[in-house]
């Protein structure tokens, strides 16, 4: 039993070292990363919410997180649109023809609702 305790602690130390090494490698990859969201846009919104940081890697990491969020919302909105339109294929004349999928505000609102964002317009304007 005494042999298993040092082995399990050694495994935990190795796992922590491996996580630290992967984090360091990821931070090095951020040096060369060019996010799709322009740096000026990221800086503007970070400044607007009071976030003051000069570390470019952290700004790139936040831009990457925003990019991932937008990508997920767009994919979910597309799924909602395909479900709404019946799967994206028309069965006219027995042959399956490709139908264009049109994203609507309702699709986007449904996708954002899954993430807790309310994007619906009020029913009545005052």
Residue range 14-25: mean pLDDT, rounded? 77
Is 21-86+100-125 CATH 1.10.20? yes
- Distance separating alpha carbons of residues 76 and 60, to the nearest angstrom: 24
Average pLDDT over residues 62-85: 93
Domain ranges of the chain: 21-86+100-125
Contact between 68 and 35 (Cβ < 8 Å): no
Structure tokens at 10: 């050694």
Q: Which pLDDT score, from 0 to 100, does residue 26 have? A: 84
The band of 97, judged by pLDDT with boundaries at 50, 70 and 90, is low
Q: Other CB atoms closer than 10 Å to residue 29's CB: what's the count?
A: 11
Give the CA-trace dihedral at 123, 114, 23, 29, to 10 degrees. Answer: -60
């Amino acid at each position: 039993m005494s042999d298993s305790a040092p082995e399990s602690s050694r495994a935990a130390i190795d796992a922590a070292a491996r996580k630290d090494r992967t984090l360091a490698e990821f931070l090095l990859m951020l040096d060369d990363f060019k996010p799709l969201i322009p740096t000026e846009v990221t800086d503007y919104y970070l400044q607007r919410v009071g976030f003051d940081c000069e570390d470019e890697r952290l700004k790139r990491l936040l831009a990457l997180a925003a990019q991932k969020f937008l990508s997920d919302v767009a994919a979910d909105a597309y799924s909602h649109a395909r479900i709404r339109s019946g799967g994206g294929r028309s069965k006219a004349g027995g042959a399956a023809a490709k139908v264009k999928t049109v994203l609507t505000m309702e699709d986007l609102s449904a996708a954002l609702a899954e993430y807790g964002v309310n994007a619906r317009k009020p029913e009545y304007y005052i």
